[in-house]
């Protein structure tokens, strides 16, 4: 059994102040594979003190020095990609092929993009009036990351913080500590100075709140639920620290009649189910032009029926389990609410897939599910489910499609499919979302990621992600 009973603080592995532990469970069977010790406010104090002490010198390092450290981290990470993939599959249930090609690979992709961003970054610039603006690290940063994309989100927070010259304390999800432990080992091997990066395991109400409230933390960067993001903001308000939030989503997928219907609907279903539906920017509301709606329903039904569900430790393009019992129960509850409200069910429904092998019978597997004729008054339209559940509805006009797509408290991503370039650009302008996908194409590493409305504030990735960790200082040119 894996035992994680030390925190990485001040460049060394230290015994925690806390003795509270929790089991590490693997989603495919529900079995315990390890145990992690959860920290407390005293552990946070030690980690923040180490980060604050390290900030004095690290914040003054040259860009070239930080680039050399990041290049070394890239070498170390590349050598340990298989370790990362195996850890992610074990702790959160992503199928091993996806863990290798997407989950683990995303951390390396973001690292490369931030290296390129830092290389191009100008730390000082002259204004038209002759004054000089410098971009300087904000200070000690508290970073809280989720379980659904563990290394992706660690990379999107830790790497720009270190690139900017900040120091940090990372609190990863207590449910996915294995990949975070590996990342800390990589930071150590890459040779970052002691105290620049610190890792404390723990839950939100203890470690997360202690970080958010800490007077010596200059910035909080949080990814998770909108409810928890609101709590981080409240905790951080007393000390007037910067808060960057990447929160929930209920992303629309608008498909017009002139799109490649077979490809776009099939792709939309698979994109919704990808990562077992546990992605904040998943296209969970499919809006289809009425003239091709019935055909789209047939295509969607076939795509869902073809979606394999299986053992995440086996290679392939199937989806795996939900990450824990609480998430499984939530998805089942949401499906039941849909049925109770009379929402028509196209395919799927309650319970586990019927063809699971016996050894996976206790795993947290859900049936790929589609509801149709869903209206904005229904719960499934409004609430983020975070499971393999898609809702579909028809529209008649472009104006109606825009109104329906924007009828949500969230605004993370939006998807558009049409053969008309002018319409695609009109839609992209009109949709209230931070990221736009057009005809199956998304943006790449180095582009900003984040949302409007209750999907958060700030941006992660590339130049905009780096700037979140920088303060602006202005001075006049020197004259004797």
Task: Provide the CATH number for the domain around residue 428.
Answer: 3.40.309.10
274 and 136 together in one domain: no
Q: What is the C-alpha to C-alpha distance for residues 457 and 397, in angstroms, rounded to an integer? A: 31
pLDDT 10s digits, 84-112: 999 999 999 999 999 999 999 999 999 99
Give the domain extent around 293.
252-445
Identify whether 480 is part of a domain.
no
204 and 268 together in one domain: no
Eight-state DSSP code of residue 99:
I
Burial class of residue 56 (count of CB atoms within 10 Å of its CB; 0-12, 13-18, 19+): exposed
385 and 409 together in one domain: yes
Phi then psi for residue 136, to 5 deg, are -125, 155
Identify whether 293 is part of a domain.
yes
How many structural domains is the chain composed of? 2
The domain spanning residue 463 has which CATH number?
3.40.605.10
284 and 402 together in one domain: yes
Identify whether 53 is part of a domain.
yes
322 and 441 together in one domain: yes
Identify whether 163 is part of a domain.
yes
**Predicted local distance difference test score (pLDDT) of residue 212:** 98
214 and 151 together in one domain: yes
Long-range CB pairs of 102-105 (<8 Å, 24+ gap) are 103/149, 103/150, 103/151, 103/152, 104/151, 105/81
Q: What is the C-alpha to C-alpha distance for residues 51 and 63, in angstroms, rounded to an integer? A: 19
Phi then psi for residue 63, to 5 deg, are -60, -40
Q: What is the C-alpha to C-alpha distance for residues 280 and 256, in angstroms, rounded to an integer? A: 24
Identify whether 299 is part of a domain.
yes
Q: What is the C-alpha to C-alpha distance for residues 369 and 356, in angstroms, rounded to an integer? A: 16
**Predicted local distance difference test score (pLDDT) of residue 480:** 85
| Cα of 235 vs its chain's centroid, Å | 21
Identify whether 427 is part of a domain.
yes
Eight-state DSSP code of residue 10:
T
Pull the structure tokens for residue 165: 């010259």
281 and 354 together in one domain: yes
SS3 assignment for 197-254: EEECCCCHHHHHHHHHHCCCCCEEEEECCHHHHHHHHHHHHCCCCEEEEECCCCCEEE
For residues 121 and 204, is the Cβ–Cβ distance under 8 A?
no
Return the axis-axis angle of helices 177-190 and 63-79, rounded to nearest 10°.
130
Q: Which residues of the chain fall short of a pLDDT of 50? A: none
**Considering 91, 246, 271, 384, which one is annotated as catalytic?**
246
- Whether pTM > 0.95 for this model: the answer is yes
219 and 339 together in one domain: no
430 and 464 together in one domain: no
Query: Is 384 in the active site?
Result: no
Identify whether 80 is part of a domain.
yes
**Predicted local distance difference test score (pLDDT) of residue 328:** 97
37 and 61 together in one domain: yes
Identify whether 450 is part of a domain.
no
431 and 470 together in one domain: no
Handedness of CA 385, 389, 390, 393 (dihedral sign): negative
């Amino acid at each position: 059994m894996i035992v994680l009973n030390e925190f990485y603080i001040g460049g060394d592995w230290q015994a925690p102040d806390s003795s509270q532990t929790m089991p590490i469970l693997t989603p495919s069977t529900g079995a315990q594979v390890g145990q992690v010790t959860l920290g407390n406010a005293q552990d946070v104090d030690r980690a923040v003190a180490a980060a604050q002490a390290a900030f004095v010198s690290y914040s003054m390092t040259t860009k070239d020095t930080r680039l050399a450290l990041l290049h070394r981290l890239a070498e170390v990470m590349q050598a340990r990609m298989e370790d990362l993939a195996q850890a992610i599959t074990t702790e959160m249930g992503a199928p091993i092929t996806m863990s290798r090609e997407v989950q683990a690979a995303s951390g390396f992709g973001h690292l490369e993009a931030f290296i390129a961003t830092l290389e191009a970054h100008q730390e000082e610039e002259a204004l038209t009036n002759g004054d000089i603006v410098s971009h300087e690290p904000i200070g000690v940063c508290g970073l809280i990351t989720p379980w659904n994309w563990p290394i992706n989100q660690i990379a999107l927070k830790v790497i720009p913080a270190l690139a900017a010259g900040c120091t940090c304390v990372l609190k990863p999800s207590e449910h996915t500590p294995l990949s975070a432990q590996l990342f800390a080992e990589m930071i150590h091997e890459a040779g970052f100075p002691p105290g620049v990066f610190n890792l404390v395991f723990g839950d939100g109400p203890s470690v997360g709140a202690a970080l958010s409230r800490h007077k010596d933390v200059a910035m909080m960067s949080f990814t998770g639920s909108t409810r928890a993001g609101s709590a981080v903001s409240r905790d951080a308000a007393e000390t007037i620290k910067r808060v960057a939030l990447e929160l929930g989503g209920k992303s629309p997928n608008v498909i017009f009649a002139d799109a490649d219907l077979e490809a776009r609907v099939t792709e939309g279903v698979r994109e919704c189910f990808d990562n077992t539906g546990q992605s904040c920017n998943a296209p969970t509301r499919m809006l289809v032009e009425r003239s091709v709606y019935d055909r789209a329903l047939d295509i969607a039904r076939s795509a869902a029926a073809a979606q394999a569900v299986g053992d995440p430790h086996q290679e392939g393009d199937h989806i795996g389990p939900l990450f824990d019992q609480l998430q499984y129960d939530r998805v089942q509850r949401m499906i039941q609410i849909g049925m109770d409200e009379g929402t028509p069910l196209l395919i799927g429904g309650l319970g586990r897939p019927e063809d699971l092998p016996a050894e996976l019978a206790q795993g947290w597997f859900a049936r790929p599910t589609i509801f149709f004729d869903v209206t904005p008054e229904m719960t499934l339209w409004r609430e983020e489910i975070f499971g393999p559940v898609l809702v579909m509805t028809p529209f008649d006009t472009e104006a109606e499609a825009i109104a329906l797509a924007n009828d949500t408290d969230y605004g993370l991503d939006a998807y558009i499919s049409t053969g008309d370039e002018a319409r695609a650009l009109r839609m992209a302008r009109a949709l209230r979302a931070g990221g736009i996908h057009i005809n199956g194409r998304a943006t790449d590493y180095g582009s900003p990621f984040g949302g409007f409305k209750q999907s958060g504030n700030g941006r992660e990735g590339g130049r905009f992600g780096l700037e979140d960790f920088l303060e602006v200082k202005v001075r006049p040119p020197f004259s004797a």
